[in-house]
């Protein structure tokens, strides 16, 4: 079974490599959002799946990554994307250490509300510091250098569907491999033991708050990288990216895709981005439709779309019979 899934992943990767050559330009551009959100969701789901902590303020780190990139490119005229990513990771690590030191002392709804409070606090700071951040108008970003190469002579469509597309894909692959190693390491097993039975984990000598804080910092760094790429793709960064509604979008993607599966949130981001694009083409009430969709998924398939696909695949290859529990 594992071999089959490896083949599927290779086919998906092969499709992603040829997608800019066969797909419409606009659909290829939407893929940039898919890549950046997938990286952010790797961090978000580290907390939710492996630690059991639900954050309602994770757009804070998307904002940190995005505004870091905006300041570097537009204000300091440092266009190197690699420098923006590294600095975003450092800033997110510092902020996550400070915020996490307070938040990880609590669990369940208290943790969720604290992260929401810090996210909204950052949103207020962005709105009030108009002379620095542009307030509600936000900040524009200049086109970055990729691996030290200047692509300013290239057209916008060619840049986003060419070099920047493959740059995003490469960062996503690297981030996925790193996160996979993290969650399957002894550190990841400690996180899962804390999630399942904190008292027993504590009796085994595992520092619960310490490990939760480490996970929070790692989560914030991954989300910050996603924010840096996201802002570059849109060419603009504003406080709306930090608002609680954006944090709720991360929760929605994770639940729709299925947070119990490592790749579930990525599938959720795919569904969210492309389905939203379709729905908004004929109605502005897309959030109402998405809310109904989430209710249906939670009721009929609590494990999300990934669980449904997994069950269908097992049924297709003959591992189970119709009506059997998978």
- 210 and 269 share one domain: no
Among 123-127, 237-241, 279-283, 320-324, which is the least confidently predicted range?
320-324
- 172 and 208 share one domain: yes
- 138 and 252 share one domain: no
Last residue of a domain, one of 215, 241, 267: 241
Q: At 326, is the pLDDT very low, low, confident or very high (cuts 50, 70, 90)?
A: very low
pLDDT exceeds 50 at position 324: no
Q: Are 223 and 230 in contact (CB under 8 A)?
A: no
Last residue of a domain, one of 184, 217, 241: 241
Query: What's the pTM value of the predicted model, to 2 decimals?
Result: 0.91
Reported as a single tens digit per residue, the pLDDT across 13-59 is: 999 999 999 988 889 999 999 999 999 999 999 999 999 999 999 99
Reported as a single tens digit per residue, the pLDDT across 262-288 is: 898 999 999 889 888 888 888 777 778
- 118 and 237 share one domain: yes
In a domain, 128, yes or no: yes
- 53 and 178 share one domain: yes
Higher pLDDT, 161 or 324: 161
Which two structure tokens, joined as six digits, stand for 289?
A: 């439709």
- 274 and 319 share one domain: yes
When divided into structural domains, the chain yields a total of 2
- 170 and 192 share one domain: yes
- 248 and 148 share one domain: no
Query: What confidence score (pLDDT) does residue 201 get?
Result: 87
Average pLDDT over residues 244-268: 89
- 110 and 142 share one domain: yes
Closest-CA residue to 247 (of 33, 95, 40, 36): 40
- 93 and 181 share one domain: yes
Domain range for 56: 30-241
- 128 and 215 share one domain: yes
Query: What confidence score (pLDDT) does residue 297 get?
Result: 78
Average pLDDT over residues 129-150: 87
Among 97-111, 202-216, 252-266, 277-291, which is the least confidently predicted range?
277-291
In a domain, 18, yes or no: no
In a domain, 165, yes or no: yes
In a domain, 260, yes or no: yes
- 233 and 249 share one domain: no
Report which secondary-structure segment, H or E, holds 140: strand 139-140
Please classify residue 100 by burial: count the beta carbons closer than 10 Å to its beta carbon, then call 0-12 exposed, 13-18 middle and 19+ buried.
buried
Q: Are 194 and 201 in contact (CB under 8 A)?
A: yes
Distance from C-alpha of 102 to C-alpha of 109, rounded to nearest angstrom: 14
Residue holding tokens 């097993």? 189
């Amino acid at each position: 079974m594992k071999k089959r899934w490896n083949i599927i992943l290779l086919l998906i990767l092969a499709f992603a490599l040829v997608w800019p050559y066969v797909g419409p330009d606009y659909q290829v551009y939407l893929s940039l959002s898919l890549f950046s959100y997938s990286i952010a969701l790797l961090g978000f789901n580290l907390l939710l799946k492996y630690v059991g902590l639900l954050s309602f303020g994770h757009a804070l780190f998307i904002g940190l990554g995005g505004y870091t990139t905006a300041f570097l490119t537009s204000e300091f005229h440092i266009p190197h994307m690699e420098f923006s990513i590294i600095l975003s990771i450092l800033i997110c690590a510092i902020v996550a250490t400070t915020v996490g030191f307070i938040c990880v002392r609590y669990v369940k709804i208290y943790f969720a509300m604290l992260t929401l409070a810090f996210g909204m606090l950052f949103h207020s700071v962005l709105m009030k510091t108009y002379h620095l951040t542009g307030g509600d108008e936000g900040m524009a970003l200049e086109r970055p250098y990729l691996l030290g190469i200047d692509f300013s002579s290239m057209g916008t469509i060619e840049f986003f569907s060419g070099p920047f597309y493959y740059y995003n894909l490469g960062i996503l692959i690297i981030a996925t491999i790193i996160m996979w190693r993290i969650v399957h390491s002894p550190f990841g097993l400690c996180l899962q033991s804390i999630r399942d039975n904190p008292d027993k984990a504590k009796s085994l000598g595992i520092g619960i708050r310490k490990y939760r804080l480490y996970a929070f910092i790692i989560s914030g760094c991954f989300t910050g990288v996603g924010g840096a790429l996201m802002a570059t793709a849109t060419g603009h960064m504003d406080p709306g990216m930090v608002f609680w509604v954006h944090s709720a979008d991360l929760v929605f993607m994770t639940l729709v895709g299925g947070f119990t599966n490592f790749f579930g949130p990525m599938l959720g981001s795919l569904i969210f981005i492309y389905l939203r694009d379709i729905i908004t083409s004929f109605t502005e009430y897309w959030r109402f439709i998405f809310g109904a969709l989430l209710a249906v998924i939670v009721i009929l398939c609590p494990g999300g779309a990934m669980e449904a696909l997994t069950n269908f695949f097992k049924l297709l290859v003959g591992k189970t019979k119709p009506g059997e529990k998978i």
